[in-house]
Structure 1
Amino acid sequence: MADTVKIIAKNKKARHEYFIEETYECGLVLAGTEVKSLRQGKVSLKESYADIFEGELFVYQMNITPYEHGNIYNKDPLRSRKLLMHKQQIRKLIGLKQREGYTLVPLSIYFSNGRVKLELALAKGKKLYDKRHTIAERDANRRIQKSLHHNF
């Protein structure tokens, strides 16, 4: 059975703001109207983050726009949502977050074989000079590619 993946949304800001150390795939606990809204692509990961509360993993500030035909079944668009991960992986994340000052940032949300999955990154925040260095590096690579393309 082929693994069908359909990306719904990406957090483009995350790679600019953080150094990504590791990524994890986790499931989400959602209501039916939220899944219908995701199928329409109505989600924003811009300000979202994940945290561990009482041994369970939750994502906060992930905005899923209410489904227009949902009526009373629609949930709060910014409510916290539980993430599904193996217990030993959560324990590892707890240790890394406490000891080394990492944060958990959602990178993308997608459908994998009909199920909603979230790509979660273990990340460290970048300083302003790190961001400038990344931008300068990207511009230099663009100029190199452009000059190579013009020479051939």
Structure 2
Amino acid sequence: MAPPKKKKNEPGRKVIAENRKARFEYHINETFEAGIVLSGTEVKALREGQANIAESYCAPEAGPNGTEIWLVNANIPEYSAGNRENHTPKRPRKLLLSRKEIGVLTGGVERKGFTVVPLKLYFNDRGMAKLEIALAEGKKLHDKRDTQKERDWGRQKQRLLRERG
């Protein structure tokens, strides 16, 4: 039996955390790339590969310069070699987006009832921490079942092709 294939990321991307459950629970309409405001120990903890964005979400809030988007409930554990100046693991983190992108996201959330969900946390080719977020609509139970059926059928098809080929 052949060894399992490694997942290939886009060149220059080092994925730290991925929210795989989001693609199952939401219809993804539009994706955006956002920068994150981080402290030094948070960046070091991310470089160690420690992060969890599975239960996090993005929320728009009114700020001093207009609306801002915040990443809420993302867990970046304390840096292992940190001292008393270490960061708080689940603090809200500001996302860096253009005004146009913030307008699209807040408009979707307010008018159309969409949700802003984080998909991936990664370092780009310049070494900057980025977050891929999506404007998404929640799936109904029957949609989730259809997705599961398609995945099962795809696996079964692959097995049949392997046995015959």
**Residue segments in structure 1 that go unaligned for 5+ positions in a row:** none
- The alignment partner of 1:51 has SS state of strand
1:8 matched to 2:32: no
Q: CA deviation at 1:120?
A: 0.3
Q: CA deviation at 1:37?
A: 0.2
Which position in structure 2 is the counterpart of 1:124? Answer: 137
Measure, in 1, the Cα distance between the counterparts of 2:154 and 2:79. Answer: 42
Which position in structure 1 is the counterpart of 2:156? Answer: 143
Q: CA deviation at 1:118?
A: 0.2
Measure, in 1, the Cα distance between the counterparts of 2:43 and 2:132. Answer: 17
107, 111, 116: which one pairs with 1:99? 111
**TM norm structure 1:** 0.95
**Residue segments in structure 2 that go unaligned for 5+ positions in a row:** 1-10
Which position in structure 2 is the counterpart of 1:114? Answer: 127
Q: CA deviation at 1:149?
A: 2.2
Which position in structure 2 is the counterpart of 1:36? Answer: 44
Task: Name the aligned partner's letter for residue 142 of structure 1.
Answer: R
Q: CA deviation at 1:31?
A: 0.2
Task: Name the aligned partner's letter for residue 144 of structure 2.
Answer: K
Measure, in 2, the Cα distance between the counterparts of 1:94 and 1:11. Answer: 21
26, 41, 44: which one pairs with 2:34? 26
Measure, in 1, the Cα distance between the counterparts of 2:56 and 2:135. Answer: 14
**TM norm structure 2:** 0.88
CA RMSD of aligned residues (A): 1.0
1:49 matched to 2:57: yes
Count of matched residue positions in the alignment of Structure 1 and Structure 2: 150
Q: Which sits farther off after the overlay, 137-146 or 43-52?
A: 137-146
Q: Which has the higher helix share?
A: 1
Measure, in 2, the Cα distance between the counterparts of 1:95 and 1:5. Answer: 30
Q: Which has the higher strand share?
A: 1
